[in-house]
Structure 1
Amino acid sequence: MASKPGLFTEFPWQKLGSFKYVILAPWVAHSVYSFVSVGEGERDLSNLLIFPLMLSRWAHNQIWISLSRFQTGRSKHKIVHKGIEFEQVDREANWDDQILLSGVFMYLASKYFPGSDHLPFWRTDGIIMVILLHMGPVEFLYYWFHRALHHHYLYTRYHSHHHSSIVTEPITSVVHPFVEIVVYFILFAIPVLSATLAGANSIVATVGYYTFVDFMNNLGHCNFEIVPKSLFHIFPPLKYIAYTPSYHSLHHTQFRTNYALFMPVYDYIYGTVDESSDDLYEISLKGKEEKIHVVHLTHPTTLQSIYHLRLGFASVASQPYASKWYLWLMWPVTWGSMLLTWIFGATFTVEKNTLNNLKMQTWAIPRYSFQYSLSWQRATINSLIEKAILEAEESGVKVISLGLLNQGEELNKNGELYIQKHPKLKIRILDGSTLAVAIVLHSIANGTKQVLLRGNLSKTGFAIALALCHKGIQVKLACRGEFEKLKLHFPAKFGSYLVFSDSLNVEQAWLVGDGLTEEEQRKALKGTRFIPFSQFPPKKVRKDCIYYNTPAMKVPKHLENMHACENWLPRRVMSTGRVAGIVHALEGWDTHECGDKMLDIEKVWKAALNHGFLPLFQP
């Protein structure tokens, strides 16, 4: 909110939350009924298209959000080189309120404003009128209204809410208090309603105008320079009638300059152009290459997880992953994106973070979890991972950590396959297993004498069992096969601490990997602590037990640009793979951690703590 919220800052439907869309239901139902219940010659197509226009505006904004986040994560043309945080994402989560409000006004206008119904599809004179009225009255009135909003009284009560976002995203453009949005809508209604009164409005003019406004708003707040210099060479006056992202970005960093809506001419007329506008445009267009030190290689999990990525839905990505009912409605897009990435996909940048002078990126392999279980996909997936490693090597990256299933033993021997194929690699490959072991060990309460090891045994599980036995803690296994496999490779001196027992209702500390069943969980004692050592969490079926997160750590406060949750983890928490890669680079360790190789557990643990990472749970 604004620093001193004034009257009418909240939208009327704010308390409805996600149910706010029901206010449109009567209008949409009436629109559809009116269209199908009358004769063909009496049908009002312009009224019927109001709701599709709203949907197209929502999709238009979402495309800009994804494009902007993708570009600011990888492009060298970023304008403001700072990150955004969860606070900004939460503040801008209601960006669709302005679309909802415009829909209500459009339905009211269609019903009560003379000449707003039964609009023709095309009127050339109306389109010209809309363009001229925008360039004149709208741009002029907006300029002075905007300057008024920067007066101390209005700024502190209203407009400071918008300016809280110094680093802008496309949706920042429409995040304003309610009364401010109402004034903007009245301004943008001037061309459309004037054309309507003149009997010259049309469907194309209305749809085209609001699409243009959305496009320019998103362009000005996307935080990467996209307007080519050649356009200004071809048509020099363009400098005065169309702004660029860098031009408007200065308004969010300098506050008292570049007030214009889309046409800088009014800033030139009234002397409010920022002197550095041209220089910033040149610098942003030229771009700045940033050296990346650490890459974390992950992949989407479920089909719906594509929306949970930072490039997807901002509000969804800012929360731990959970299946959403409304995402099932988008199954054509979901399956279509999966097929496209399967056929044409290449590794893409998901996120960029900074810790002091260390630059990090997260890359994603365009494959979902279920595809990793397909034996005929392994060669392709390994090829994608190998290509990503070689690209990182060529870019001078110091460390690459393999997340989720990218480090599977059956897939690539925990990453050892790439070392064998490229023994002269300068980049260091990590699977994060040492830190995962350390986190699990420090999640077990002091005084624990016995633990139960369940799920599929992995490199991490084996190392945990060995470390516990070394500390004199008995490790019980309920699976005869896993017990024999572990005992075969266990040092003889620790053999007495490794015990087979088919009883599952004894121990209250369960260390669980993949494959833990619901039936097994139901046999656990009340209050049992399920501590995963796998990168995937077990399904929670017991409300009377405690479920720990998968191995992860809280990030330091000074780690920047954290505004999306990593899969199912809480905010500002990273998986061990990502943390291990960062710590490895900060310490300058010159060794791989893949295959059967493990690092010194306590050394890695203390290094992570020394760099500001903290455990999620205190036993």
Structure 2
Amino acid sequence: MVGPLSAWPWENLGIYKYLLYGPLLGKVLYTRTQEGSFKDDWCLHILIICIARAVLHQLWNSFVNMLFLTRTRRISRRGYDFKQIDKEWDWDNFILLQALIASISCYIYPPFIENVPLWNTKGFITILTLHVGISEPLYYWVHRCFHKGYLFTQYHSTHHSSPVLHPYTGANATFLEHLALSTVIGIPIIGSHMMGYGSRSMIYGYPLVFDFLRCLGHSNVEVVPLQLFETLPFLRYLLYTPTYHSLHHTDMGTNFCLFMPLFDAIWKTRNNKSWELHKKLSSDAGKDRRTIPDFVFLAHVVDVSSSMHAPFVIRSFASLPYQMRLFLLVGWPSAFIVMLMMWVWSKAFLVSFYNLRGRLHETWSVPRFGFQYFLPFAKEGINKHIEQAILRADRLGVKVISLAALNKNEALNGGGTLFVNKHPNLRVRVVHGNTLTAAVILNEIPEDVKEVFLTGATSKLGRAIALYLSQRRVRVLMLTSSTERFEKIQKEAPLEYQSYFVQVTKYQAARSCKVL
């Protein structure tokens, strides 16, 4: 049985939950059309703040998933699996909740956001004081309460169920938890306004700074420079780091603070490994300390629209099968500009990182779009990038690198043979879909087989199977009407094995063959 207020009121609405923003938008449009101005502009401000908060989280999501930038700064080496993505799917519920709370507050007391200055220095001091004096200790003790017994199992365990921290993990919590968090956020804003020190910059700035720091702590990427704490040691107690908060998720009896480790130090819950681990991670930043993968898949982007489904763009889309959505057209110009930049200066880079059956696999990407593979003048440049990726995998000690569809185009590089012939001493195995399929088929053929009937014998797949079976001294009946193609494949085999190739033109030749 779930605890009361653990589920969100609009949990069953799915994407239609965004219709709850409708009254705010309707009020903005009504004011504009009927009164010709945004006189009652508090609804507009709430919507702008909601959009800004969503964009902030999206930017953090993009940053932490750009592994070609953050790989050496990652705290946990694990990847984000689909199960975690599904759990954090509705991470933006808290933005909707706080928008509804703010709209109700402004409806009851409209002057809250009207007739306030853009900036108020006293208001800045007041909100900082209220945050440090009330919000920080209040969050600390509420957080500790949520780590006990019933409150943890029914509410806070959801937040701790994500195996790898992500900016969306910080927003992934139950309805009751976010009601408490809304109180923590609201006290400094409401308090400073009631004292007469309110300002619009405070109403915009405080929630955005609050969200920024929450995303920072849950980013799984150590970006706070060590030199900052070495120069100003007291900052260790005023600003937490991603490393500091990550320890709370591995040792849940420590590091309960909101943003300031000072309160963990006061109430003796600070993890003693915090500073040493931060120092180690910061010192190792820039060094290639990752585990070498067994397998690398060298992918490529199909077109501009599919490029917007990369993990560092919109994570939810990246976890779903490709589908073009009309509202993505808004981002098409930006994606096109990025494409041109990649075309001018780029190299193969790491785009995803995941564990599969306990073994590390990676996906790299050649920075070329589908249509570029069919431009004659682009051939040399594309092959250069593919070759660099293969040589890089060889240097790292990768066991297998697989070429995606167009990366192994026969007209481009002969299915990868160009690189294998050019670098005969490669330790890494260069494969693609056809060779892997051939390997699966060959693995199914018993060792004691002496004769095989092969259809599609002169295709890429058939050619690979025939050449391999001939070296096992297996007689291969190749069904093909093209003598020229048959002989071409036969001549690829060493002279001693060429007698094992037999051309047949009818299916009846397979009547006495046990393996088809």
Q: Same fold (TM over 0.5)?
A: yes
CA distance in 1, matches of 2:33, 2:442: 66
Shift of residue 426, structure 1, vs aligned partner = 4.0
**1:36/1:43 contact within 8 Å kept:** no
**How many Å separate the matches in 1 of 2:483 and 2:132?**
79
Measured after TM superposition, the shift of residue 94 of structure 1 is 0.7
Q: If the length of structure 2 is used for normalisation, what is the TM-score?
A: 0.83
Q: Distance in 1 between matches of 2:128 and 2:455?
A: 72
Per the alignment, in what secondary structure is the counterpart of residue 49 of structure 1? helix
Residue 240 (structure 1) aligns with: 237
2:228 maps to: 231
How many pairs align? 485
Distance 1:30 1:349 in 2: 46
Tell me which moved more, 279-288 or 215-224: 279-288
Quote the residue 1:414 is aligned against.
415
Asked whether the equivalents of residues 73 and 352 of structure 1 are also in contact (C-alpha less than 8 Å), the reply is no
Match for 2:251 among 250, 254, 261?
A: 254
**Cα distance between partner residues in 2 of 1:98 and 1:49:** 17
Contact map agreement 1:476 1:498 (CA 8 A) in 2: no
Q: Which residue of 2 aligns with 1:14?
A: 11
The 3 A distance-change label for structure 1 pair 275 and 416 is: same
Distance 2:270 2:454 in 1: 68
Residue of structure 1 equivalent to 2:353: 352
Note the 1:416-495 alignment, pairs <5 A. 416-439=417-440, 459-460=460-461, 462-463=463-464, 486=485, 489=488, 493-495=502-504
Deviation sequence 1:527-553 (CA, Å, 0-9, x none)? xxxxxxxxxxxxxxxxxxxxxxxxxxx
**1:344: how far off?**
3.7
Give the AA of the match of 1:28.
L
1:363 Cα deviation after fit: 0.8
Structure 1 portions without partners, runs of 5+: 444-448, 478-482, 500-601, 603-619
Equivalent in the alignment of 1:615:
none
- The 3 A distance-change label for structure 1 pair 336 and 5 is farther
Residue number in structure 1 paired with 2:162? 165
Bigger shift: residues 20-29 or 310-319:
310-319
The AA in structure 1 aligned to 2:504 is: G
Give the conservation status (yes or no) of the 8 Å contact 1:165–1:252. no
2:308 pairs with 1:307: yes
8 Å Cα contact 2:68/2:349 also seen in 1: no
Distance 2:392 2:422 in 1: 15
* Structure 2 residue 97 is matched with structure 1 residue 88: no
Q: Aligned partners of 2:138 and 2:475: how far apart in 1? A: 75
Match of 1:64 in 2: 60
Alignment correspondent of 1:341:
342
Q: 1:11·1:178 contact (CA, 8 Å) conserved in 2? A: yes
Instruction: Name 1:582's counterpart in structure 2.
Output: none
Q: Report the Cα distance in structure 1 between the residues aligned to 2:59 and 2:275, rounded to whole angstroms.
A: 28
Contact (CA 8 Å) 1:78, 1:224: kept in 2 or not? yes
* 1:405 counterpart residue number: 406
Provide the residue aligned with 2:505 in structure 1: 496
- The CA deviation at 1:39 is 5.4
1:458 shift after superposition: 5.3
| 3-state DSSP of counterpart to 2:118 | coil
Q: What SS does the corresponding residue of 2:297 show, helix, strand or coil?
A: strand
CA 120–473 in structure 1, closer or farther in 2 if over 3 Å, else same: farther
Deviations 1:252-281 (A, max 9, x none): 111111100001111111111112212221
Q: C-alpha separation between the residues in 1 aligned to 2:70 and 2:326?
A: 32
AA aligned opposite 1:177? T
Could you tell me how far apart the structure 2 residues matched to 1:73 and 1:85 are? 20
Q: Determine the structure 1 residue equivalent to 2:74.
A: 78
Q: Residues of 2 paired with 1:34 and 1:345: CA distance?
A: 49
Work out the CA distance in 2 between the residues paired with 1:485 and 1:182: 76
User: Are residues 1:108 and 2:99 paired?
Assistant: no
Q: Given residue 158 of structure 1, which amino acid in structure 2 is its aligned partner?
A: Y
Q: Which structure 2 residue ranges, 5 or more long, are not aligned?
A: 445-451, 491-500, 509-514
1:43-62 matches, cutoff 5 A: 43-62=39-58
Identity within the alignment, %: 35
What are the equivalent positions in structure 2 for 1:366-377 lying under 5 Å apart? 366-377=367-378
* 1:290 matched to 2:290: yes
Q: In 2, are the aligned partners of 1:346 and 1:366 still within 8 Å (CA)?
A: yes
- Answering whether residue 194 of structure 2 is matched by residue 197 of structure 1, we say yes
- RMSD between superposed Cα atoms in Å: 3.4
Residues 142 and 270 (structure 1), Cα distance of their counterparts in 2 relative to 1, 3 Å cut: same
Report the structure number with the largest CA radius of gyration: 2
